[in-house]
Amino acid sequence: MAQNKRFIWQKAQGGLMKELNIIIDRETGINYLFAHYGYGGGLTPLLDKDGKPIVTPPSEIIDD
C-alpha cells in the first residue's frame, strides 16, 4: 500500500483486533483519532478542552 505523504500515521495503542492511531494532516496540522476494532472503525478530530481541533504547528511536524 502506497503511503500518502499528506498524512502522518502514529500508532497510539494496539492489541488483538483493536487499534488506536493518531493521524496528522501535514497541510492543516489538525490531529485525528482513528479507532479500529475488528471490522469496524471510526475517525474523529481530536479536540481540546474548549472544543477546538488540536493542531500541530508545522515546525513540530517531522518529515519521514
Does residue 60 register a pLDDT over 90?
Answer: no
Enumerate residues 6+ apart whose C-beta is below 8 A from 60: none
Does residue 64 register a pLDDT over 70?
Answer: no
Average per-residue pLDDT for the chain:
86
Question: Looking at the DSSP assignment, which residues form a beta bridge with residue 15?
Answer: 18
Q: Which of 11, 19, 13 is nearest to 38 (CA)?
A: 19
**Statement: the pTM of the whole predicted model exceeds 0.85:** no
Please write the tens of the pLDDT for every residue from 27-56.
Answer: 999 999 999 888 899 999 999 999 999 999
- Predicted local confidence at residue 1, as pLDDT: 43
